[in-house]
Amino acid sequence: MTEPLRVLHVSQPNGGGVAVYVGQAAMDQRRRGWDVAVACPPGGDLPERCMAAGVPWLNWDAARTPGVRTLPESLRLRRLVRSFAPDVVHLHSSKAGLAGRLLRRLRGTPTMFQPHGWSWLAATGSQAAFSRCWERLAAHWSDAVICVGAGEQSQGVDAGVRGAYRLVRNGVDLRRFPPADGADRLVARTRLGLAASVPLAVCVGRVTRQKAQDVLVSAWPEVIERCPAAVLAIIGDGDELESLRRERVAGVRFVPAVESPRDWLTASNLVVLPSRWEGLPLTALEALAIGRPIVGTDIPGIAEIVRPGLGALVPAEDPGALAAEIAERLRCPGIAEEEGRAGAAASAAYDLSGTLELLAAVTRDVAGRGSAPESLDNSRAVAGGLVHAGLAGAGDGAGVVGLYGAFGDGGGAVTPPNSSR
């Protein structure tokens, strides 16, 4: 009898959309009879999510940003891998990807890396260049590079990251986010203490530079000019929250992060994603499933979801264009209702069960327990040969230490992107 597959998921961050994804993957794989554990820092909601589902949590205390602690964090992770002895290590987001691949392969264990948003998108100048160089090098030590959307995969290829790509799009649990009609909206508004008739736009996600709530707040006075009763609810916590609060823009309401955004999405007339960059945002998929139109930026990840008839796309960092599309839908709810119905129908293509099935197939393939399904053939063939970017001859010392120095925690350190929600 074949031994159960042993999989170790490693994640930094321990909250937000990435944590939701890791929790879903780990719980699904446990239901398949696999031996699964999750290593991540304490705090956040991922440790509790795992333990509640009976998935072992391993304390990997790692900072969110790269710095002088990264090498010790990598060594601690190596010890956890040695102790758990997995068949596959699955690294989630750029910091786990850095620590997990910094000392080259973890005990020779097959390794999957899933960026959930490429590291260089959060950086500028030389830091972005170093990030791209690192990802080109580290692709050598990744048996699979999992991309949550076609846009993310194209960004990697365009940046010269050549590896064994697998396209496994994010998904949404259609049972937890069923289509919601006008009656459902009224019930949700009653629970949230909202007026039944207020034109409501909702933005869900960490309040950060990536998610660009600053652009949305800048756009809101123009929305109010066109639709004076409009209310914007920004749901989430983050490092830019207090500065946005201090602007005291009329009609803008800040709500602490919630365990599930379902009530707020249901209560809304439309959902706004003003992001500067994304992978394939869960909030957009949840809005689609519930039947709410999306006004988002025309960037990879969002443009992949918001097809014609499902909402509107505007240039990133363009408050005027953002305001115009929001106001049109708040003033003309018939447009929003029609787009919402189309979105609910389109959401069937993103059913979470298909995502988890494909991820399980990739994991088995990487572990040598089965061949990948045909749907992976095209993404696997993206990059026959690796692009070495001048680093092909670098060993553990020269290449990795040189890049590690670039990730030092001086003024150039950046917070890795966390794009899922």
For residues 112-145, b (16+ Cβ closer than 10 Å) or e, as one string?
Answer: bbbbbbbbbbbbeeebbebbbbbbbbbbbbbbbb
pLDDT value for 64: 84
- Res 67: pLDDT: 80
Alpha-carbon span 10 to 304, nearest angstrom? 27
With CA atoms as reference, report the closest residue to 382 among 145, 114, 169: 145
pLDDT digits (tens, 9 = 90+) for 338-378: 999 999 999 999 999 999 999 999 999 999 987 655 554 44
Answer whether 86's CB lies under 8 Å from 111's CB.
no
For each of the domains in the chain, give its residue range(s) and CATH number, in order of start. Answer: 6-171+352-406 (3.40.50.2000), 182-350 (3.40.50.2000)
Dihedral angle at the C-alpha atoms of 272, 352, 41, 39, nearest 10 degrees?
Answer: -160
pLDDT score for 106? 58
pLDDT at res. 105: 63
* The pLDDT value given to residue 399: 38
- Residue 380's pLDDT is 43
Q: What's residue 203's pLDDT? A: 99
- At residue 418, the pLDDT reads 60
Amino acid at the residue 156: G
**Residue owning tokens 């709810």:** 333
Tell me the C-alpha distance between 15 and 79, whole Å: 23
Q: Most distant CA pair in the chain: distance in Å?
A: 69
Q: What is the pTM of this model?
A: 0.86
Cα 95 to Cα 100: distance, rounded to the nearest angstrom? 8
Q: Which residues of the chain, if any, have pLDDT below 50? A: 376-413
Specify the pairing of strand 6-11 against strand 88-92: parallel
Structural contact between residues 416 and 119, judged by C-beta atoms closer than 8 angstroms:
yes
pLDDT at 371: 64
pLDDT of residue 166: 97
Please report the pLDDT score of residue 385 as a whole number: 34
What is the pLDDT at residue 239? 93
- How many CB atoms are located within 10 Å of the residue 103 CB? 16
Over the stretch 8-55, which tens digit does the pLDDT of each residue have?
999 999 988 899 999 999 999 999 999 999 999 999 899 998 988 999
Residue showing tokens 């909030």: 283
Burial of 262 (0-12, 13-18, 19+ CB in 10 A): middle
Which structure tokens are listed for 192? 């949230």
